[in-house]
Amino acid sequence: GQLAQAWWERAYGTTVDGVMVLDPTTLSYLLRATGPITLATGDQLTSDNAVQLLLQDVYSRYPDTSVQDLFFASTAAEVFSAISSGNVDPVTFIEALTQASSERRVLIWSNDPAEQAVLDGTSLNGDLTQNGGHDRYGVYVNDATGAKMGTYLEYRLGSVDTECRNDGRAYRDIEVTVTSTAPADAGTSLPTYVTGNGQFGVTPGNTKVILAFYGADGSQFVGIERGGETVTSRTAQDFGLPVVTTALELAPGETATFHVRWLAPEESSGSPVTEMTPGVHTIETEAPRFACEIP
């Protein structure tokens, strides 16, 4: 929030009181409450087509990035106008925001200490160090393609406690499967602005991400595998939390599964939670099972 505030001040010379971040999926939820919105282009923006239009179609329709920016600015203005008019279904509106915030699609920072105090401890804060009384683990995704290929990624997340040790400390096992749903000819059929055109060393049509696995406060990193084989990774700390990162590049249709093991804190809450950066698609969850030994 503070970085965005500084960027705005440098660009426009004014100071904003707060910063709100939301994604196109959140917008699709809000459109349930506003109903269809007619854009300046004549398009009807609806809950069903918002994600497809904003994350895929606009890049094919308008190759000029300046025109894309105008489209997004116009769309944001129309949506804000529809919401601020008050002509929305209040129950549906609150339900949409509740769903989006529970999926970590809405984050808010306020420059006012009193307002920020209200946000502290909620899912709207985004503070990695606030765990709500749980052992909190995370899987966070950073784009490394330098383009717009993330919309073609699907995720499956699973986590479970595996009890093997005589001292009673459990292992927290986390499994993440990432699949590229990009078309087989993505390198040539998608606009270069979407593929990145190899500008950052990624083969056009492929998608590269950095996966950052965060351990709970007091946990210890044990190991990371991809398909049963140990992978190259880096360990670090962020706000005192243990982190391990690894890079992943997927070709269209390719899938990769990672298994990360943490040793739970000595004083565990007994109710761990694992969260993940929200994607375009709903993240599937499952409860995997693991043996006590990993290579």
- Contacts with 255 (C-beta within 8 Å, 6 or more apart), sequence order: 177, 178, 179, 180
pLDDT band with cut points at 50, 70 and 90 for residue 173: very high
Report, as an integer, the average pLDDT of 68-77. Answer: 90
Burial 201-230 (b: 16+ CB within 10 A, else e): ebebbbbbbebbbbbbbebebeebbbeeee
The pLDDT of residue 26 is 93
In this prediction the pTM is: 0.89
The pLDDT of residue 121 is 81
182 vs 266, residue with greater confidence = 182
CA distance 122 to 238: 20
The pLDDT of residue 109 is 94
Q: 40-43 long-range contacts, Cβ below 8 Å, gap at least 24?
A: 40/74, 40/78, 41/71, 41/74
For residue 276, give Cα distances in angstroms to 58, 115, 243, 270: 27, 26, 14, 20
The pLDDT of residue 19 is 95
The pLDDT of residue 131 is 67
Report, as an integer, the average pLDDT of 67-85. Answer: 90
Report, as an integer, the average pLDDT of 15-21. Answer: 94
For residue 294, give Cα distances in angstroms to 204, 221, 244, 287: 35, 13, 17, 18
**Using one digit for the tens of pLDDT, what is the confidence trace for 247-279?**
999 999 999 999 999 999 988 877 888 999 998
**Using one digit for the tens of pLDDT, what is the confidence trace for 276-292?**
999 887 777 777 777 78
In this predicted structure, the answer to whether residue 11 has a pLDDT above a threshold of 60 is yes
